[in-house]
């Protein structure tokens, strides 16, 4: 009688990261370099004012920017599916580098606007292809740690960027955009040299080919719409940390206290998100989405509604843990509903929804806050509850089996 084979246990997070295939490492390194020099969104308004745009003209330009970013995400996802992940990553990044260089070198306002539109359209277009590439080269059980690893590179780059910017700003914002263009160019070169030229490869997901085809060939449009609507809602709640929460905290305490809270958030995300993914990857996908949504919906109002320092700190801790649970899982959730030939486009839908939320959330939140702060905090709780119901309704655990 042959001995029974012991059930396969998932690898540790450290082994997942160190054992990541070359395309994953190349992407992570490239994204860290890119994010370290991504100053477009942060310094655009200051630059436009510096070259002569009035306060009346700025909202129109920023509106165009806000519309171009989601369009670029959709385009990047379509290219990733129609051609290859590498084509999308390299092509959109090179075009973003050109747009940023035009901004830095433009002799006139009109030419600078051309660069602004190009950079708006392509600066984040690589994200759907990046998510798709991670999915292509990662087993299903390793997806959450892999996305946490990817987000670690993004967050570390975002932490390095402001430090570099402080040293560069005294020499002019033009130089800042030229350096950003150079970072995008380096990112593209890393992708050209490091990624295979062939069409995307399908990863071993641990599901047999017929089962995988059955799962991916009949995506539920209703479930996808509910999922994306829930992502839109909770992201609009989450981004209040950068708008209405900042107003409330600055009013109750001061700007330095708010900056300290943001630093606390960044440090916790960098330190905890990757190790915690060892636990979240064992759960059905909808569970960390539900937990993360609940914590963000509670933590955001808690951090802004009360003028007591320890309650503000508690609120920041709560929504930070919610972010840590939610963010590495959401791309996997969308992938579970994707047809095999539409992974890039569906990731593009996700990035687009998140971009729209980041554009609309602060405007809607500050408007409601100006009417009545309590109305905003209650609204965050209500929207969070609706989004939680939405994630429960999708029942994504059917596509993401529990691992004992």
Q: What is the pTM of this model?
A: 0.85
Task: Give me the sign of the Cα torsion angle 75, 81, 85, 90.
Answer: negative
Question: Which stretches of the chain drop beneath a pLDDT of 50?
Answer: 1-7, 200-219, 396-404
How far is residue 139's CA from residue 30's CA, in Å, rounded to a whole number?
22
- What confidence score (pLDDT) does residue 218 get? 47
Domain ranges for the chain:
14-194, 213-398
- What confidence score (pLDDT) does residue 198 get? 57
For 171-177, the CB contacts below 8 A with 24+ separation are 173/43, 173/46, 173/47, 173/50, 174/47, 174/103, 174/104, 174/105, 175/104, 176/39, 176/43, 176/104, 177/39, 177/40, 177/43, 177/47, 177/100, 177/101, 177/103, 177/104
Nearest to 141 by CA among 22, 21, 282, 17: 282
pLDDT tens-digit profile of 238-265? 999 988 998 888 888 877 888 888 889 9
- What confidence score (pLDDT) does residue 3 get? 44
- What confidence score (pLDDT) does residue 185 get? 95
CATH topology of domain 213-398: Growth Hormone; Chain: A; (1.20.1250)
- What confidence score (pLDDT) does residue 201 get? 44
- What confidence score (pLDDT) does residue 328 get? 93
Assigned architecture for domain 14-194: Up-down Bundle (1.20)
Distance of CA 51 to the CA centre of its chain: 30
Query: Cβ(312)–Cβ(376) under 8 Å?
Result: no
Q: Tell me if domain 14-194 and domain 213-398 are identical in fold.
A: yes
């Amino acid at each position: 009688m042959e001995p029974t084979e012991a059930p396969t246990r998932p690898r540790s997070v450290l082994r997942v990261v160190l054992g990541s295939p070359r395309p994953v490492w190349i992407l992570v390194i490239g994204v860290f370099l890119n994010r370290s020099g991504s100053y477009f969104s942060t310094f655009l308004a200051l630059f436009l004012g510096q070259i002569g745009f009035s306060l009346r003209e700025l909202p129109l330009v920023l509106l165009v920017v806000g519309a171009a970013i989601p369009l670029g995400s959709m385009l990047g996802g379509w290219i990733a599916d129609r051609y290859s992940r590498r084509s999308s990553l390299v092509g959109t990044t090179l075009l973003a580098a050109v747009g940023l260089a035009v901004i830095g070198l433009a002799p006139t306002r009109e030419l600078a606007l051309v660069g602004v539109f190009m950079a708006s359209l392509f600066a984040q277009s690589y994200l759907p292809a990046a998510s798709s590439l991670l999915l292509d080269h990662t087993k299903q059980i390793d997806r959450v740690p892999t996305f946490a690893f990817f987000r670690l590179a993004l967050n570390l780059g975002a932490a390095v960027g402001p430090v570099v910017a402080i040293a560069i700003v005294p020499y002019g914002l033009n130089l800042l955009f030229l350096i950003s263009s150079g970072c995008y160019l380096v990112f593209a070169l890393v992708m050209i040299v490091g990624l295979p030229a062939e069409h995307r490869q399908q990863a071993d997901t641990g599901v047999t080919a017929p089962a995988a085809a059955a799962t991916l060939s009949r995506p539920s449009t209703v479930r996808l719409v509910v999922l994306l609507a829930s992502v839109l809602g909770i992201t609009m709640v989450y981004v209040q940390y950068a708008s209405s929460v900042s107003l409330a905290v600055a009013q109750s305490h001061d700007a330095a206290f708010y900056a300290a809270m943001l630093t606390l958030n960044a440090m916790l995300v960098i330190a905890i998100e990757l190790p915690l993914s060892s636990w979240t990857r064992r759960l059905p996908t909808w569970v960390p989405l539900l937990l993360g949504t609940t914590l963000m919906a509670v933590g955001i109002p808690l951090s802004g509604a009360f003028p007591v320092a320890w309650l503000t700190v508690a609120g920041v801790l709560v929504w930070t843990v919610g972010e840590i649970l939610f963010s590495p899982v959401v791309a996997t959730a969308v992938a579970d509903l994707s047809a095999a030939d539409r992974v890039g486009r569906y990731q593009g839908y996700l990035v687009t929804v998140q971009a729209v939320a980041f554009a609309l959330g602060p405007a809607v939140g500050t408007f409601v806050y100006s009417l009545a702060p309590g109305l905003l905090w209650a609204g965050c709780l209500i929207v969070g509850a609706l989004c939680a119901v939405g994630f429960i309704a999708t029942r994504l655990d059917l596509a993401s089996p529990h691992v004992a």
